[in-house]
C-alpha cells in the first residue's frame, strides 16, 4: 500500500484539483500518471478497456476504489509473475503485439531488428535446433559445455553470456530470470525498459549471437567486457552517423549519456589527477542505528581512504544518504583533496545537489553543508550511479553498523573490502 500513499502525495503536490480531479481526462492505459520507474504508465492489461480513465478508479465519495485497483493491478501483476515462473507458453497476444510494435519502432538498423525477431521466433540456427533437425552433430552448447543450446540459452542463459547481462541494466533480472523461451524474455524487457535500454538489449543480443558464431567457426576467447566495449563503440558510431551525437543542447543522446544512464554498470576509475569518492548509507531499523560509508580511490582504482561512521537514531533513508555524503566530504576536505568526483546511489541526494533553492527540511540542512564542503575543492563533480557501481561504499556502510565508533583506514584496504576494490580496480 505504500505505493498508493506515495502516489496520493504526488498527486496532491501536483494539484489534485486539475491533475487528477475527477480523473476523466487521464487515460488509464495510455497516459503517464503513476510515479513508477521505467514506464510511468500502467502496463497493458487485457482487463482494462482501452478508453478507461482514472475516473473509473474513483468512487462517488472521491476516494480511491481500492478494491478495484487491487484487482486490476496487483492481482494481475501477480498472475503474470506466476505465469512467468511456471514457464507457461506465450498466450497473451496483447503483450506480444506491444512487444513487436516496440521492436519495429526502435532506432536501429533493420538487420538487428530482424535478427531479434528471428530469435524470438526460434529461427536462428542454434545447436539444439540443428540437432533436432538432424543437421548438427551435437545439441550441446559449445560455450559452456552445459545443456542444450536453445535460443534462450545462446543469448541469455549461458553462463558466459550472463557475464555480459550482469553488467547492464538487466543486472537484477538476470539473476532471477529462468525462462525457457526467449520470446518471453523479450516481452518482459519490452515492457519494463526505456527505449534506449531496449535498443541496448537488442544490440547486445546481436553481438552475443555473432560472437557465438565466431566461437563455433573459429576460436576466439569470450570476453564480456570486450563485447560490451565493441557493442558500445558500434552504437556510438551508429548514432554518430545518424547525427545523434555531438549536439550541444540538452536533447543530445550521445553514448556517454547513455552510459551514464546506467546501461553499462561498472565502477569506473576517475580521470587522471582526480580522486573518486563513493558514499552510501545503511540503516538497521530494529536496532535504531545507522552507518555511513565513504571510499576514496585514485585514478588507478587504488584505495586512498576508507571511512566507516556508525550512529544512533532512526533516520529516514534519505537523511542517512545525505549524512553519508557529508561525512565523506568532511573526510576529503580534511585529507586535502582538491579534485574530487562524487558518486552516490541516492538519486534524491544527487538531484538535491543540483537544486539551488533553499530547503528547510533536515536533509536540506545536510545538503547545504555538503555544498559548503564542496566549495573547498578546486574541481568537483557529482553523479548518480546505480547500486552495483557503488558496492564498495555500500559494504563500508554495512560494516559501520557493527562498529563502536567512527573508523578510518588510510592508504590501506581492510580485508573485508579488498575483493570489491580489486575487482573494480581491474575493470
Ligand atoms: Zn552455454
Most confident listed range (44-53, 215-224, 261-270, 301-310): 301-310
Distance 224 CA to ligand 1 centre (A): 14
Whether pLDDT at 343 is above 90: yes
Distance 348 CA to ligand 1 centre (A): 40
Alpha-helical segments (H) within 87-194: 93-105, 110-121, 127-132, 151-152, 159-165, 171-176, 182-192
Q: Is 32 or 51 the better-scoring residue by pLDDT?
A: 51
Distance 223 CA to ligand 1 centre (A): 14
Q: What is the DSSP letter of 170?
A: T
Distance 84 CA to ligand 1 centre (A): 22
Please work out, in degrees rounded to the nearest 5, the angle formed at the alpha carbon of residue 323 by the alpha carbons of 319 and 324: 120
Q: At 312, give phi and psi (nearest 5°).
A: -110, 135
The pLDDT score that the predictor gives to residue 62 is 58
**Averaged pLDDT, 314-337:** 92
Domain boundaries along the sequence of the chain: 2-86, 93-247+254-262, 275-425
Q: What is the DSSP letter of 157?
A: I
Whether pLDDT at 51 is above 80: no
Distance 87 CA to ligand 1 centre (A): 20
Distance 273 CA to ligand 1 centre (A): 42
Q: Which residues surround ligand 1, an ion (CB under 5 A)?
A: 141, 143-144, 146, 158
12: pLDDT confidence band, cut at 50, 70 and 90? very low
Whether pLDDT at 332 is above 90: yes
The mean pLDDT value of the chain amounts to: 75
pLDDT digits (tens, 9 = 90+) for 65-97: 555 655 555 444 444 444 444 333 344 445 567
Distance 148 CA to ligand 1 centre (A): 8
pLDDT digits (tens, 9 = 90+) for 188-224: 888 777 788 888 899 999 999 988 887 766 656 677 8
**C-alpha neighbours within 13 Å on the C-beta side of residue 86:** 8
Residue 304: its H or E element: strand 303-312
Angstrom distance (rounded) from CA 304 to CA 295? 8
pLDDT digits (tens, 9 = 90+) for 92-141: 445 567 778 888 888 898 889 888 988 888 888 888 877 777 776 778 88
Angstrom distance (rounded) from CA 343 to CA 355? 17
Distance 187 CA to ligand 1 centre (A): 22
Contacts of 31 (CB under 8 A, 6+ apart): 41
Contacts of 274 (CB under 8 A, 6+ apart): 299, 339, 340, 341, 379
Which CATH code fits 275-425? 3.30.420.10
Distance 304 CA to ligand 1 centre (A): 40
Distance 183 CA to ligand 1 centre (A): 18
Amino acid at each position: 500500500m505504500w505505493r498508493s500513499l506515495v502516489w496520493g502525495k504526488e498527486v496532491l503536490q501536483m494539484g489534485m484539483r486539475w491533475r487528477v480531479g475527477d480523473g476523466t481526462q487521464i487515460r488509464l492505459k495510455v497516459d503517464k500518471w503513476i510515479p513508477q520507474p521505467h514506464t510511468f504508465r500502467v502496463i497493458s492489461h487485457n482487463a482494462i478497456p482501452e478508453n478507461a480513465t482514472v475516473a473509473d478508479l474513483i468512487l462517488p465519495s472521491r476516494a480511491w476504489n481500492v478494491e478495484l485497483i487491487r484487482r486490476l493491478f496487483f492481482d494481475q501483476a501477480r498472475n503474470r509473475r506466476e505465469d512467468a515462473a511456471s514457464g507457461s507458453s506465450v498466450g497473451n497476444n496483447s503483450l506480444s503485439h506491444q512487444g513487436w510494435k516496440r521492436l519495429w519502432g526502435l532506432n536501429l538498423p533493420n538487420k538487428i531488428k530482424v535478427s531479434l525477431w528471428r530469435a524470438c521466433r526460434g529461427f536462428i540456427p542454434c545447436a539444439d535446433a540443428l540437432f533436432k533437425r538432424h543437421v548438427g552433430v551435437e545439441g550441446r552448447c559449445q560455450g559452456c559445455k552445459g545443456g542444450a543450446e536453445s535460443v534462450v540459452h545462446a543469448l541469455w542463459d549461458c553462463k558466459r553470456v550472463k557475464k555480459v547481462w550482469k553488467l547492464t541494466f538487466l543486472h537484477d533480472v538476470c539473476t532471477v530470470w529462468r525462462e525457457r523461451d526467449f520470446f518471453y524474455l523479450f516481452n518482459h524487457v519490452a515492457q519494463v525498459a526505456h527505449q534506449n535500454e531496449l535498443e541496448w538489449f537488442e544490440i547486445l543480443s546481436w553481438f552475443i549471437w555473432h560472437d557465438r558464431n565466431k566461437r563455433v567457426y573459429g576460436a576466439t576467447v569470450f570476453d564480456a567486457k570486450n563485447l560490451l566495449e565493441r557493442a558500445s563503440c558500434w552504437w556510438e558510431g551508429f548514432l554518430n552517423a545518424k547525427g545523434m551525437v555531438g549536439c550541444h543542447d540538452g536533447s543530445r543522446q550521445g553514448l556517454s549519456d547513455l552510459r551514464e544512464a546506467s546501461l553499462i554498470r561498472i565502477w569506473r576509475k576517475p580521470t587522471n589527477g582526480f580522486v573518486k569518492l563513493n558514499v552510501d548509507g545503511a540503516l538497521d531499523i530494529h536496532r535504531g542505528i545507522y552507518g555511513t560509508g565513504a571510499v576514496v580511490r585514485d585514478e588507478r582504482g587504488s584505495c586512498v581512504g576508507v571511512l566507516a561512521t556508525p550512529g544512533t537514531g532512526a533516520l529516514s533513508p534519505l537523511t542517512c544518504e545525505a549524512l553519508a555524503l557529508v561525512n565523506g566530504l568532511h573526510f576529503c576536505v580534511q585529507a586535502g583533496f582538491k579534485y574530487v568526483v562524487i558518486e552516490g546511489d541516492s538519486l534524491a541526494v544527487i538531484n538535491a545537489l543540483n537544486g539551488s533553492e533553499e530547503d528547510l527540511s533536515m536533509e536540506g540542512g545536510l545538503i547545504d553543508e555538503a555544498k559548503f564542503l564542496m566549495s573547498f575543492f578546486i574541481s568537483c563533480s557529482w553523479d548518480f550511479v546505480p547500486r552495483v557501481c557503488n558496492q564498495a561504499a555500500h559494504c563500508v556502510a554495512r560494516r559501520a553498523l557493527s562498529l563502536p565508533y567512527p573508523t578510518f583506514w588510510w592508504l590501506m584496504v581492510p580485508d573485508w573490502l579488498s575483493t570489491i576494490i580489486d575487482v573494480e580496480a581491474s575493470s
